Amino acid sequence: MSETASKRRPQYRNLTVPQLLVYLNRMPLAAKTSILHRASGALLFLCLPLVLVPLFGRSVESAETFAGLASWASHPLFKLVLLALIWSYLHHFCAGIRYLMLDMHVGNDKHSAQKSAGAVLVISLALTVILGLKLFGVW
């Protein structure tokens, strides 16, 4: 056992929501990217049989169900769900690539790790905005 482990360390439990928000706000970029990696993965997991597989099914089943998706997509609520899933996929993808790079000891120093974490957040959000604009028919 090392010295630090035997010392009594402060514990922060039962955090209230405002405290939690302050904590989230003060997290370094890499920590934000990390928790969002987990959150986006959990969302994709939950939506897998509820949204993603049924959606895939409708898109490939027949020409009629394929065409029917266009009318679903006109529903704003459906668009928001889709947008959340698109962001989840993009963030999880980008953050995952970053982790694979870190595994190979690329950009492991503090400075580059923070920079790549910021890049993951920005790139996935930017791609989500581009696809979102497409989804809402802006282009």
Partner 1 sequence: MDQQGLGQKRLVVGAHYGTLDFIVQRVTAIIMAIYTIVLLVGFLFMGELNYENWRNLFTFTCLGLPVGQMLATVAFLSVAWHAWVGVRDIWMDYVRPAGLRLVFQVLTLLWLVGSIAFFAKILWSL
- Residues forming contacts to partner 1 in the complex (CB under 8 A) are 2, 38, 41-42, 44-45, 48-49, 53, 56-57, 59-63, 66-67, 93, 96-97, 100, 103
State the greatest distance between any 2 C-alpha atoms of the chain, in Å, as a whole number.
68
> Which lies closer to partner 1 via its Cβ, residue 103 or residue 109?
103
> Which lies closer to partner 1 via its Cβ, residue 12 or residue 111?
12
Tokens 């190979």 correspond to 104
In the complex, minimum distance from the CB of residue 31 to partner 1, in angstroms, rounded to a whole number: 14
Say how far apart CA 76 and CA 84 lie, in whole Å: 12
Say how far apart CA 94 and CA 84 lie, in whole Å: 15
In the complex, minimum distance from the CB of residue 96 to partner 1, in angstroms, rounded to a whole number: 5
